[in-house]
Structure 1
């Protein structure tokens, strides 16, 4: 008989266990699942292309974000991290998968881009490794793979790592486009995430209500020949943390 719950972290780990084996997709033990996912680079996966997100390109072009320190959460093969580096950002990029990080580092060498890649769980990597505060935290596809209880960890990460006046940008599954629309409570009853969670604009505004919304829209559908990545089944959102008085 186990009676070991005494901290919030204990509760979070207990809830992680309810989703095994899907928990491998967001915990430090998830490297093997994602390594398998990234092993075949020839797979027809939309975001395997070496193109930055169209919304990220747009933020810079419109002057909504300017160069500073950036953190790319769930960087995968590094396409957005490399774009941020090309804009003059000092970039930290983190992913669970050693295979993804190796691919990203290879791309960075080819592009002669200066990016600090980290392999591990962004929730548990030390402040020395992820040396914020960051002027921009960017997430393209990580958030929608988290179970509801790990939003607490995610918001805590933003709270400690995002600089006052800094920006948080997100792309995630859009309800009606892709992802599970099962309620949070039913996810625990099913003990499954169904491949990723869909969000509505209202739910994103509520979750990130401590930040100021700058823009929230569907990602533009980019043609194959475009230099930018864009799929309309995703939301794109840009928020700002207000500066201290």
Structure 2
């Protein structure tokens, strides 16, 4: 959108204008940031903890505790190389993973072929506008996407959940935690627009998460458990984990 034109007619026009206030980078979830993420995923040997093909420890725990019924359709938002999507597929879920980065999607598809997984599909694009994400989904899972959204795109995120999450379905996420031992920026929302960047991601408190997703029923909100390198699961305590159920 040309910011010099008088062409705002809809809420989506306003959201896209606000998108344009942020430079394309890791801070930018939209198509303009795909190149940055492509570069991020290009070197598979980088010492990035979540490059390892391990599922999140909270996701494993939800299934083991019976908090998530096994089976049904899953949408994995910001799936990256597919580590959580492939874990869910191995349990019998029918999984769709979506990510902006073609490089991440190609890596995820390669992993799926190696694993012989047939009940997982990967989509490259913007989750808010992709027609391939038809729903309804019994589980929407987000591991590290939400904290890269600029504040105004929470509107789009909540609208997506409202549109695709099945009645009685579950929504789960991991996101940067504010406070001691946390990670991410704790600036007020307005300051991000003044500086034109998100400082690598937004940190949230548990109270903020509960308020943002107040239309859903809380099942579990806690810090992610640290997992050693030898563990079969990924875990870092600078993240919140949260599980909610649709009413």
Normalised by the length of structure 1, the TM-score is: 0.96
Work out the CA distance in 1 between the residues paired with 2:241 and 2:197: 25
Instruction: Give, in whole Å, the separation in 2 of the partners of 1:30 and 1:192.
Output: 12
Report what 2:165 is aligned to: 162
Answering whether residue 107 of structure 2 is matched by residue 103 of structure 1, we say yes
Give the Cα–Cα distance (whole angstroms) in 1 for the partners of residues 94 and 230 of structure 2. 29
> How far does residue 70 in structure 1 lie from its aligned partner after superposition?
0.3
CA contact (8 A) 2:76 2:96 kept: yes
Paired with 1:166 and 1:46, the residues of 2 have a C-alpha distance of 29
- Per-residue Cα deviation, 1:92-133 (whole angstroms, up to 9, x for no partner): 00000010001001111111112110000000101xx11310
**4+ long deviations beyond 6 Å:** none
Aligned position for 2:19: 16
What is the distance in 2 between the residues matched to 1:93 and 1:238? Answer: 19
For residues 29 and 125 of structure 1, do their structure 2 counterparts lie closer, same or farther at Cα, with a shift above 3 Å needed?
A: same
Aligned 8 A contact 2:219 2:244 in 1:
yes
Equivalent residue pairs, number: 240
Computed over aligned residues only, the root mean square deviation of the Cα atoms, in angstroms, reads 1.1
1:35–1:100 CA contact under 8 A, matched in 2: yes
* Residue of structure 1 in register with 2:186 after alignment: 181
Structure 1: any 5+ residue segments left out of the alignment? none
3-state SS of paired residue (1:15): helix
Residue of structure 1 in register with 2:246 after alignment: 241
Query: 1:10-159 counterparts in 2 under 5 A?
Result: 10-22=13-25, 25-66=28-69, 67-114=71-118, 115-126=120-131, 129-159=132-162
Q: Distance in 1 between matches of 2:25 and 2:43?
A: 21
User: How far apart are residue 196 of structure 1 and its match?
Assistant: 0.4
CA contact (8 A) 2:185 2:201 kept: yes
Q: Relative to 1, partners in 2 of residues 1:174 and 1:236: Cα closer, same or farther, differing over 3 Å?
A: same
Match of 1:213 among 218, 226, 232: 218
Could you say what secondary structure the match of 2:20 adopts? helix
Distance 2:232 2:90 in 1: 14
Give the superposition deviation at 1:51.
0.1
Structure 2, unaligned stretches of length 5 or more? Answer: none
Residues 148-191 of structure 1 show CA distances to partners (whole Å, capped at 9, x for unaligned) of 00000000100000000000000000002100001101111111
Paired with 2:25 and 2:209, the residues of 1 have a C-alpha distance of 23
Tell me the CA shift for residue 58 of structure 1: 0.5
Relative distance call for 1:204 and 1:87 in structure 2 (3 A) is same
Cross-structure match for 1:192: 197
Q: TM-score, normalised by structure 2?
A: 0.95
Q: Matched residues in 1 for 2:87 and 2:148: separation?
A: 23
